[in-house]
Amino acid sequence: MAKFSFLKFIRDQRRKPDPVEHVDLTGKTVVVIGANAGLGFEAAKHFASMNPKRLVLGCRSQEKGQAALQAIQATGFKNAELALVDLARFASVSAFADTFIRENAQIDIFVQNAGILVTRYSASEDGWEESIQVNHLSGMMLILLLLPCLVKAASSGTSPNPRVVIVSSEVHYQTKFSKKEVESDKILQKINDKNYCTLRVILDRYNLSKLLNIFFVRELTKRLPANSPVIVTAVNPGFCKSQLTRNMPLFLRPIGRLMEILLARTAEEGSRNLVWGAVGGAGREFELRGAYVSNANLDEVSDYALSDEGAVVQARIWDESVEILSGVESKVESSLREMLSS
């Protein structure tokens, strides 16, 4: 398969988007994190048109989440509900997951869409650089905690292969971990160090967080039992008009705006890739495990992610992340122990 190049990027952006994949979701539960705007909201609207038993909109803001809920209900779909979750706070992530665990709920489709783009260092109340926490650690925590709910969907018969979709990006091709980061005792602690996060480092942080998404999808799939019903996939929605660009540095905004005018897809067009990752590829379920989806098809990840060094870093990031998250929430370790040994 062709690797990333600017010409390929332009061709992909200009190609006519495939029609949205549509299946019957009757009896199934769909959870979309980051559902109040952009890609997540458009994907949620598509899922609503497929008649799921339950559509959960995971949003950080009550006001914006309620507006998204009302917009979806206005389409005539009444089985949507709002659940608040702030990925910048581990306590909020735990509380969100606890609701499903207490209900002994099943989840057939889980879409982790929420993400942020930063241009300066800012730490969360948990002490992590915000994009590391929001784009990687909290999403990983949610998925690990909710794995039993996904397996329950398989055992109950509603979904032989429940799916987890993590929104990554083609920008993962443009980055890798530096020698200084790899040679540090703890990679995540190194990239979390405020003194290390110069402007140059921070401006690459979004790209790096999307590489972390690729690493997580591939490593989780590698560690799940061979007979696990759960399919975990990374999806590239392409370059879309979204609220992410509002956080660009002032000197980059004119370039970003020009690229949006010339090349950007609409959020609805980009959301079709999320939907394809969640319900598409019938008959190719085995290929979707740990895969990277772009333009409603399977694509190859970066050379760095495929390299020996990338594999070592991927395993280290997994171990470090599990250690961090287990220290925050003991259920992470117990959920992993149950799922990875079953």
Instruction: Provide the annotated active-site residues.
Output: 169, 206, 210
C-beta neighbour count of 103 within 10 angstroms? 9
Question: d(Cα 39, Cα 42) in Å, to the nearest integer?
Answer: 5
Angle between helices 330-341 and 90-103 (to 10 degrees): 50
- Cβ–Cβ under 8 Å, residues 329 and 90: yes
Q: Is 96 helix (H, G, I), strand (E, B) or coil?
A: helix
Residues 6+ apart with CB under 8 A from 285: 161, 231
H helices of the chain, in order, are 6-14, 38-48, 62-73, 90-103, 130-132, 138-156, 179-182, 187-192, 199-203, 205-223, 253-263, 267-279, 285-288, 303-306, 308-328, 330-341
Cα–Cα distance measured from residue 167 to residue 115, given in angstroms and rounded to the nearest whole number: 9
Taken as a whole, the chain contains a residue count of 342
**What is the spatial distance between Cα 315 and Cα 88, in angstroms, rounded to a whole number?**
24
- Residues in a beta bridge with 303: none
**Could you tell me which of 332, 309, 318, 310 has the C-alpha nearest to residue 188?**
318
Given a contact cutoff of 8 angstroms between Cβ atoms, the answer to whether 187 and 317 are in contact is: yes
- In contact, 237 and 167? CB cutoff 8 Å: yes
As a whole number of angstroms, the distance between CA 319 and CA 302 comes to: 22
Q: How far apart are CA 146 and CA 86, in angstroms?
A: 16
Phi, psi dihedrals of residue 80, rounded to the nearest 5°: -95, 150
